[in-house]
Chains A and B, each alone.
Chain A
């Protein structure tokens, strides 16, 4: 369809009052159609922001699940600090704002005809498309780790229907006394850089009470990780010798799993028997971003750093974990923060409003280390001619030091984390 600016739309109304029944004016209240694939931190934030900021634009959200279960705070289920309903969010708030929510899976995109093919077979036309589908797991990248194996060694790294995080929680509850919990952690990039280490902390928090002689063996493909000093301080302070972290340069990279015998097998052939295995498998952009050619050979989608328009296709803006925007982390907060820039850039032309000229992208990642024990890292980023860069002398990280001196700080940050969760989920769904 022809994209009408607000000004020309107004002029058209005046000029063609006699032809109101003409087909081109049947959609008289809308300036254009924004379609969003994926109702998570990127997509839900984009939908809500678009409805509030550009009420004349028609917004359709395509999301296969009836509700959204957040990955942030999923680790608190493992720690026994939250229940699944507390991190499950309804799309009713978006519906009430006028978003058309289609519970369906986007199967294909036609960038020429500008329409999305749904798994149910219907086509949804768009003027601008936001693609925020999240990640897919690289099944088979760890030999023996496929969808069937994930029923024994859960990944619990995508919200989905909640069954994965529930399974992992149940397995922890059933862990034999003094049993071993193994985690396999991937190399960069992956969703939620501090997530695996918060997970280790929350599992330890649970086991310290329920099964204090249990062990956690965390095998990592990397030699370092986000907030490493803070996490390792936490582990030493709160959990003694319960946790062992094995980095990639000490043969921590897991290359094969044997679910029948409950084995993790390392790069150099060492076999580790675990009672519970959590395999955070290597990742890439979700299928819709790869199957349509939006992603490059890395498996992620390169984008314009000011507009998030995909390098591979006009009028398609890719946000959230599916894109490559390093040094922006693959976090819910970044998906939320960048969604607004992407929507404003996408809709600038059709609404006649300026695109953001100097966008700034914010990130804060809180992590829970234990009860009333939180810390955070903050980053501020801007586009550059080459991509993205962290703004010099911005951001920061929680202080390190003995718990005796920092208990109040840690307690406050845990409450800030809870407040962050409440506010960002309201910015997505209310």
Chain B
């Protein structure tokens, strides 16, 4: 599975606060409480025009299907990359862009 999903506005006016939501299907199995082997994401990164705007290190307390909602002030048009990195190094990616007028 591990389908990454993102929602962000297509356009915004300069200075407007925009909402970005992300969701990834992932079981986030710690391996501590069942016979299932550990299967955890290690990190989430959101980048705008190549610059990191949010990063997060997942721990054992993270729920399955982790979701983030965060807000940015849109000063300039942005190309976004969203990257979820598994503990085994596998990356799951999603993209999006916001035009600013």
> What is the minimal beta-carbon distance from B90 to any residue of chain A, in angstroms?
20
Which residues 237-274 of A have a CB within 8 angstroms of B?
Answer: 249-251, 267-270
B67 partner residues in chain A, CB cutoff 8 A: 249
Tell which of B6, B63, B64 touches A268, judged by Cβ atoms closer than 8 Å: B6
Q: Does chain A have a CB within 8 A of B73? A: no
* Bound-complex Cα distance A250 to B25 (A): 6
Instruction: Describe B's contact surface by its main secondary structure.
Output: strand
* Bound-complex Cα distance A232 to B21 (A): 29
Q: Does chain A have a CB within 8 A of B49? A: no
* Bound-complex Cα distance A268 to B23 (A): 8
Report how many residues on chain B are interfacial, defined by Cβ distance under 8 Å.
10
B21 partner residues in chain A, CB cutoff 8 A: 267-268
Binary interface profile of B, 1-45, with partner A (CB < 8 Å = 1, else 0)?
Answer: 000011100000000000001010100000000000000000000
> What is the minimal beta-carbon distance from B65 to any residue of chain A, in angstroms?
4
Report how many residues on chain A are interfacial, defined by Cβ distance under 8 Å.
7
* Bound-complex Cα distance A228 to B21 (A): 27
The answer to whether B25 and A268 have CB atoms under 8 Å apart is: no
B25 partner residues in chain A, CB cutoff 8 A: 250
The answer to whether A268 and B65 have CB atoms under 8 Å apart is: no
* Bound-complex Cα distance A249 to B67 (A): 8
Q: How many interface contacts (CB-CB < 8 Å) are there between A and B?
A: 21
> What is the minimal beta-carbon distance from B46 to any residue of chain A, in angstroms?
15
A250 partner residues in chain B, CB cutoff 8 A: 23, 25, 65
A268 partner residues in chain B, CB cutoff 8 A: 5-7, 21, 23
Nearest residue (CB) in B for A247 is B65
B5 partner residues in chain A, CB cutoff 8 A: 251, 268-270
* Bound-complex Cα distance A153 to B64 (A): 32
The answer to whether A267 and B7 have CB atoms under 8 Å apart is: yes
* Bound-complex Cα distance A44 to B2 (A): 51
* Bound-complex Cα distance A310 to B52 (A): 51
> What is the minimal beta-carbon distance from A23 to any residue of chain B, in angstroms?
64
B65 partner residues in chain A, CB cutoff 8 A: 249-250
> What is the minimal beta-carbon distance from B70 to any residue of chain A, in angstroms?
15
> What is the minimal beta-carbon distance from A142 to any residue of chain B, in angstroms?
16
Nearest residue (CB) in B for A270 is B5
Nearest residue (CB) in B for A267 is B7
* Bound-complex Cα distance A250 to B23 (A): 8
A270 partner residues in chain B, CB cutoff 8 A: 5
Known: A267-B21, A268-B21, A268-B23. A249 touches B7 (CB 8 A): no
* Bound-complex Cα distance A117 to B5 (A): 51
> What is the minimal beta-carbon distance from B5 to any residue of chain A, in angstroms?
4
> What is the minimal beta-carbon distance from B87 to any residue of chain A, in angstroms?
20
* Bound-complex Cα distance A269 to B96 (A): 13
* Bound-complex Cα distance A393 to B85 (A): 45
A251 partner residues in chain B, CB cutoff 8 A: 5, 23
The answer to whether A249 and B64 have CB atoms under 8 Å apart is: yes
Which residues 45-97 of A have a CB within 8 angstroms of B?
Answer: none
* Bound-complex Cα distance A249 to B6 (A): 13
> What is the minimal beta-carbon distance from B4 to any residue of chain A, in angstroms?
9
The 6 closest A-B CB pairs, nearest first, are: A268-B5, A249-B65, A268-B7, A250-B25, A251-B5, A250-B65
Q: Which residues of A contact B (CB under 8 A)?
A: 249-251, 267-270
Q: A267-B7, A267-B23 are in contact. List 18 more A-B contacts (CB 8 A).
A: A249-B23, A249-B63, A249-B64, A249-B65, A249-B67, A250-B23, A250-B25, A250-B65, A251-B5, A251-B23, A267-B21, A268-B5, A268-B6, A268-B7, A268-B21, A269-B5, A269-B7, A270-B5
